[in-house]
Structure 1
């Protein structure tokens, strides 16, 4: 059975905002490795459309190895997008989910293969409430955003996780790895 891993960037105050973090070479390398070692990634429409930026680097590489490598990794990994408004993914490695989130994710979890990543705040919240997250990889950036969308919002029940390890970056960002107890 595959593990469901919620991997997301937040600020010190728990805000999920793609513009608030401090991306650097180390962080891009980390996420490239994470993508290369996973079987699939789940997105909501908003995050998926933000991630489509990386397609531009496939056509015109930046010259920064870590960013170009990340673009290749995000292009390669299969993506499932949960959206009621998106009609076309415009990305060969992406498909729109056809089932309700619980059924779709449970079916993916039962398949053989590498772990399932979740990279969208909205999908993480839904999967927490469905009790389907096996591990968190919270990358906390040394920034206080002060406003924005908090990661842990509208959570139904208390759930306990155990810190299994940490990873620090030169930028001051740190990843906290939490596993379900």
Structure 2
């Protein structure tokens, strides 16, 4: 059975926003490897539209190899977008969800293949509330943003995690790997 992995970046004060943080070469390399080992990634509208930023580096590479590698990896991995406002994707490797989130994820988990990544705050919250996340990879940047959406502000029930491992970066960022404690 495939695993659902919620991979997301936050600041020390819990702000979850793909436009804040200080990703460096090592962090881009980490997420490139994660994407290269994924079978599919699930996005909500907002995060999907933010991630479309990476398409520009496919045709016009940047001067930073780690950014180009990340762009290639995110371009390759199949994406399923959950949105009620956009009706079609402009990214060849993306498609619109055809089922509601719970049914889509349950069906994907039953398939054989690589893990299912979730990179959107809204989907992570919904999947926690549905008890469908198997692992969290939370990258904490060593900064305080001071404003913005908090990752865990709409959780319905108490959720306890078990720390599996950590990964530290030279920048001071750290990834905490958790599974839900059953």
If the length of structure 1 is used for normalisation, what is the TM-score? 0.98
1:21 pairs with 2:7: no
The DSSP-based 3-state class of the residue aligned with 1:41 is strand
How far apart are the structure 2 equivalents of 1:20 and 1:94?
24
How far apart are the structure 1 equivalents of 2:138 and 2:43?
16
> Could you report, residue by residue, the CA deviation over 1:52-72 in whole angstroms, capped at 9, with x for unpaired residues?
000000110002110000000
1:4 pairs with 2:4: yes
1:128 pairs with 2:128: yes
Alignment match, 1:151: 151
Which consecutive unaligned segments of at least 5 residues does structure 1 have? none
The DSSP-based 3-state class of the residue aligned with 1:39 is strand
Counterpart mapping for 1:85-104 below 5 A: 85-104=85-104
> Could you report, residue by residue, the CA deviation over 1:75-132 in whole angstroms, capped at 9, with x for unpaired residues?
0000000001111210010001011110011001110001100000000000000000
The DSSP-based 3-state class of the residue aligned with 2:155 is coil
Alignment match, 1:49: 49
Consecutive aligned runs of 4 or more in structure 1 exceeding 4 Å deviation: none
How far apart are the structure 1 equivalents of 2:27 and 2:83?
28
How far apart are the structure 2 equivalents of 1:131 and 1:56?
36
If the length of structure 2 is used for normalisation, what is the TM-score? 0.98
The DSSP-based 3-state class of the residue aligned with 2:38 is coil
The DSSP-based 3-state class of the residue aligned with 2:95 is strand
How far apart are the structure 2 equivalents of 1:35 and 1:132?
20
Which consecutive unaligned segments of at least 5 residues does structure 2 have? none
How far apart are the structure 2 equivalents of 1:164 and 1:125?
21
CA RMSD, Structure 1 to Structure 2 (Å): 0.7
1:141 pairs with 2:141: yes
